Structure 1
């Protein structure tokens, strides 16, 4: 057995150990005894002269070197598997899982139909669509693609803009008829407001900018939810004023189900003065070898947003 084959099988072994969080379970998957697994892992660490795993009787964790090696293993194995598919099935064959996370509102209105159309073109791709407003750590979530509003600080991630957007305050005509229309941000403290929860944080301080003047108003919400779609439903039923992305409610605005207020101000959940902080972005982990199905879906989705007048 050549050294190249040894390295490849060691990569498969290491990925299996991390996946199963133990040598015994990984050994059962690979058909190897615990003694063989232990010996091969020790030989692997000796080859690179680094410790890859911290092991105790109940817990297994990656060292910094182990995390680096694990990430490289997954990329290389993905690339080899994709190459084998291309050789065996031809260039047109695209298959495998595609894990996508998106906020509920934008996920149902925009991403769901795009996924359905993509799957008609590539029926062997199996989509996992997670409608979740709270994905914060993309690497740990296991997602291939995350769609989210706002900017990112993590340099290990690539962010591409899907659509320009902005945050707006909105309410139903019935609510405004009953309670009046706020004319300044300060008026909001006297109104029924609908606030988002993000990782159990109450997003009830709303930020405004009017030319060079900034203002932060802490509202007293009547209702909270961690689901943007619920906030929209409450606004539609006349429960109060919501701070929403205009993309989420564009159809409601066009059909006069919701009305925007305080339109002269730039609004956000944080103190960012950047217009792009409310844009809709697609985010993914930088990989040298991106599986073809992910590359194809990214391009397909970005084109759909670029060329659709509805978006």
Structure 2
């Protein structure tokens, strides 16, 4: 059987990923009625019902579930075949849609995409920087760079590097205040807090080997902006608990000093995250390999 309209198959796959006709319509910039008509047309051509519809939810049928996996794989293979035909070789082409947190993305992901583009000049990027967690199944995104532990079991994560959080202060501040010798000494220092409504009690849980020390902190200098914390810390206003990648340049330049070395918050991963869709387009798997090698010794650790 040949499909009269390949777009119907594309819409079917997107509806299964988004969970509803309306969400798929928004993701594809189509009218909901258009999506509904295309699914109905595909069902007529296949001679089977793909979704059970009611007023509360949309449920894919067993037949639809069997078809969608094969359809997704076929579309990816067709996409790669089109890339090869356009390029006249197996050169990578196409667009990679990436999301990343604003500060990490602007500092490191933007640089990484530029380096990858130089190696593969026919690959394009759409880089979306946001501190909001983007749903990779409903958003039009291929890959997320996440600086946190992965909570969504529907996703596949590849570890790229470690996210270490260390204590830092400016030389000016340390000239006026005796550096802390142990975590408990922090209660006698001005601490700069990352805080936002609903966060709850402000505390730092520091670890050194098997030792764990929780420091409860009260401070009149708090913000929900990491950039602001770094600025305050460089200005000598107090001690801050910051991601190493965020303050590496300041440490090298001497604008900040690493204090209480060895005491850090629990390390979290920096990961290359994608939906569970196979096969994965070659441009995306190659980009993942590139990042893993690029950050094998992270630039903020070097």
Q: TM-score range with shorter-chain normalisation?
A: 0.7 to 0.9
Question: 1:305 aligns to what?
Answer: 295
Distance 2:200 2:70 in 1: 38
CA-based RMSD:
3.7
Distance 2:55 2:261 in 1: 57
Distance 1:19 1:136 in 2: 15
Q: 1:288 to 1:12 in 2, by over 3 A?
A: closer
What's the CA shift for 1:284?
2.0
Among 273, 282, 287, the alignment partner of 1:292 is 282
Is the CA contact 1:185–1:262 (under 8 Å) kept in the aligned structure 2? yes
Counterpart mapping for 1:40-189 below 5 A: 40=41, 43=44, 47-48=48-49, 50-51=51-52, 53-54=53-54, 62-63=58-59, 73=71, 76-135=74-133, 137-189=135-187
1:178-229: CA deviations, max 9, x gaps?
3432233233334332333579636832112244332222222444444433
Among 21, 25, 35, the alignment partner of 2:31 is 25
Distance 2:85 2:110 in 1: 31
Stretches of structure 1 lacking an aligned partner (at least 5 in a row) = 269-276
Stretches of structure 2 lacking an aligned partner (at least 5 in a row) = 16-20
Q: 1:86 to 1:105 in 2, by over 3 A?
A: same
Question: 1:273 aligns to what?
Answer: none
Distance 2:197 2:73 in 1: 30
DSSP 3-state at the match of 1:284: strand
Instruction: Kindly tell me the number of residue pairs found equivalent between the two proteins.
Output: 291
Is the CA contact 1:103–1:228 (under 8 Å) kept in the aligned structure 2? no
DSSP 3-state at the match of 2:31: helix
Q: 1:290 to 1:222 in 2, by over 3 A?
A: farther
Is the CA contact 1:133–1:228 (under 8 Å) kept in the aligned structure 2? no
Is the CA contact 1:161–1:280 (under 8 Å) kept in the aligned structure 2? yes
Is the CA contact 2:190–2:237 (under 8 Å) kept in the aligned structure 1? yes
DSSP 3-state at the match of 1:201: coil
Among 259, 263, 280, the alignment partner of 2:270 is 280
Q: 1:88 to 1:166 in 2, by over 3 A?
A: closer
1:233-284: CA deviations, max 9, x gaps?
322222322212223222221221111112232324xxxxxxxx33432222
How does the TM-score come out when normalised to structure 2?
A: 0.77
Distance 1:141 1:13 in 2: 14
How does the TM-score come out when normalised to structure 1?
A: 0.75
Is the CA contact 2:169–2:239 (under 8 Å) kept in the aligned structure 1? yes
What's the CA shift for 1:168?
0.5
Question: 1:233 aligns to what?
Answer: 231
- Please, which moves more after superposition, 82-91 or 64-73? 64-73
What's the CA shift for 1:47?
0.7
Question: 1:257 aligns to what?
Answer: 255
Is the CA contact 2:51–2:60 (under 8 Å) kept in the aligned structure 1? no
DSSP 3-state at the match of 2:168: strand
Distance 1:198 1:72 in 2: 45
Is the CA contact 2:76–2:281 (under 8 Å) kept in the aligned structure 1? yes
DSSP 3-state at the match of 1:306: coil
